[in-house]
């Protein structure tokens, strides 16, 4: 059974595609730093790692070799913590780049923005990618940024582009913009849209800024899974700067306990 289907209760996203050491000295950039961070976060209560890899200059890349290296290191250092890779475009990569990555690697799990994968309107290529992943047993989490994308996911399932089995989504409460602060009520339109579209996925959320913990606590109360970490927020629930990702995980564990 795939360890990312269903989702674990808490997944840590320790770096993302955009932030670096200038944003926080404890943000992991190298594979060694990411593995060490994942180990600490697992001890604090995170069940899985949402992983981004960086090149030698610290830039976000879609690199199968680096992902293979990270997954191998994780299997040695934190064998009970599954790894979800990402195809995030981050304004750099095209759908063809995302699909090429997934032809070169078969991870346990991957997060894919539906809008990014379909940005070139090549539904035949997207269908092959999604169905190949399903046949390989890869746990796909569909990243949805607004309610229109919820309906689009339902439409693509109906059209056969996206397999409907083991459906998993992440609702993103906000955007990767300077000063973004999410609020717990931002989740409600997503849940209403999913119900209206006839979807009943295994769902989770991520949220931005100093209300991240409040958003995650609210989602937990509604039956959702939680993604926490420096990708989205650097602050503790009390507004203090978090010392590291493990502290954020522990903060959320306390909030939902």
pLDDT in tens, 13-72: 999 999 999 999 999 999 999 999 999 999 999 999 999 999 999 999 999 999 999 999
Spell out the residues 6+ positions from residue 255 whose beta carbon is closer than 8 angstroms to its own: 213, 216, 217, 237
pLDDT at 1: 72
Interval 53-62: pLDDT, tens? 999 999 999 9
Confidence of residue 180 (pLDDT cuts 50, 70, 90): confident
Closest by Cα among 27, 93, 33 to 60: 93
Interval 112-131: pLDDT, tens? 999 999 999 999 999 999 99
Interval 209-219: pLDDT, tens? 999 999 999 99
Q: What is the DSSP letter of 218?
A: H
Cis ω before 171 (30° cut-off from 0): no
Distance between CA atoms of residues 227 and 205, nearest Å? 6
Distance between CA atoms of residues 60 and 19, nearest Å? 9
Locate 245 and state its tokens: 């990702």
Class of residue 42 by CB neighbours under 10 A (exposed 0-12, middle 13-18, buried 19+): buried
User: Which H, E and C letters describe 116-145, residue by residue?
Assistant: HHCCCCCHHHHHHHHHHHHHHCCEEEEEEC
Spell out the residues 6+ positions from residue 73 whose beta carbon is closer than 8 angstroms to its own: 31, 32, 35
Locate 78 and state its tokens: 């934190």
Sign of CA dihedral 220, 27, 245, 76: positive
Locate 194 and state its tokens: 């999913």
pLDDT at 122: 97
Average pLDDT over residues 3-12: 96
Ranges of H-type helices in 177-244: 188-196, 212-221
What's the pTM?
0.97
pLDDT at 175: 73
Task: Give me the architecture of the 10-256 domain, per CATH.
Answer: Alpha-Beta Barrel (3.20)
Interval 83-121: pLDDT, tens? 999 999 999 999 999 999 999 999 999 999 999 999 999
- The percent helix, strand, coil of the chain (3-state, each to 5) is 40, 15, 40
pLDDT at 177: 67
C-alpha distances in Å from residue 227, one per residue of 154, 196, 204, 232: 23, 24, 7, 9
On the question of pLDDT at 162 being above 90, the answer is yes
Contact 99, 130 (CB under 8 A): no
Contact 213, 236 (CB under 8 A): yes
Domain ranges in the chain? 10-256
């Amino acid at each position: 059974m795939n360890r990312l289907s269903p989702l674990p209760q808490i997944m840590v996203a320790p770096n993302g595609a955009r932030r670096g050491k200038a944003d926080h000295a404890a943000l992991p950039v190298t594979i060694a730093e990411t593995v060490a961070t994942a180990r600490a976060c697992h001890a604090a209560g995170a069940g899985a790692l949402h992983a981004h890899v960086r090149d030698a200059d610290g830039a976000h890349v879609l690199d199968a070799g680096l992902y293979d290296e990270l997954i191998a290191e994780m299997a040695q250092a934190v064998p009970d913590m599954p790894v979800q890779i990402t195809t995030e475009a981050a304004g750099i990569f095209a759908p063809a780049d995302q699909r090429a990555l997934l032809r070169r690697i078969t991870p346990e799990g991957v997060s894919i923005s539906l809008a990014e994968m379909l940005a070139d309107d090549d539904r035949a290529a997207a269908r092959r990618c999604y169905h190949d992943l399903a046949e390989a047993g890869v746990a796909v989490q569909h990243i949805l940024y607004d309610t229109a994308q919820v309906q689009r996911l339902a439409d693509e399932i109906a059209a056969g582009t996206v397999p409907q089995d083991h459906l998993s989504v992440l609702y993103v409460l906000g955007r990767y913009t300077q000063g973004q602060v999410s609020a717990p009520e931002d989740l409600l339109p997503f849940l209403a849209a999913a119900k209206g579209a006839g979807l009943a996925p295994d769902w989770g959320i991520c949220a931005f800024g100093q209300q991240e913990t409040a958003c995650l606590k609210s989602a937990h109360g509604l039956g959702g899974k939680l993604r926490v970490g420096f990708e989205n927020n650097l602050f503790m629930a009390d507004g203090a700067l978090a010392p590291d990702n493990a502290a954020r995980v522990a903060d959320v564990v306390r909030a939902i306990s």
